[in-house]
Amino acid sequence: MEHTYLELKKKTVNDLREIAAGIEHEAVQGYTQLNKEHLLDALCKALKIDKHVHHEVVGLNKTEVKARIRQYKKKRDEANAAGDHAELKRCLRQIHILKRKIHKATV
């Protein structure tokens, strides 16, 4: 049976120990003595489950938006060097808006 990190995290210690009982791996040796945090780490290692949750950007071309952010950062540096406060503020605002678009599109 395939497990996910979030699924395992929601289980009780007894449920995790039952899963560990059926696994022959050195990471889960002594599973009866482990607390939930250590048991969860050991199970993830034994089952080769990634503990990091990956997010995707949906409905937006992330590479284009990031390219535009880089352009605004160059303009920001030029405006800062020239002392043009209005242009600097506009660039910072655009960078913020674009980053928020990426954040809102992340699932």
Full domain range(s) for residue 36: 5-47
Average pLDDT rounded to a whole number, residues 81-98: 97
> Into how many domains does the chain fold?
2
**38 and 12 in one domain?**
yes
Burial group, residue 102, by CB count within 10 angstroms (0-12, 13-18, 19+)? middle
Which candidate, 76, 72, 99, places its Cα nearest to that of 88?
A: 76
Q: Structure tokens of 3? A: 């497990």
- The yes-or-no verdict on residue 1 having pLDDT over 70 is no
pLDDT of residue 107: 79
| Domain-embedded: residue 78 | yes
CA-to-CA separations, 95 to 76, 91, 105, in angstroms, rounded: 9, 6, 16
pTM score > 0.75 for this model? no
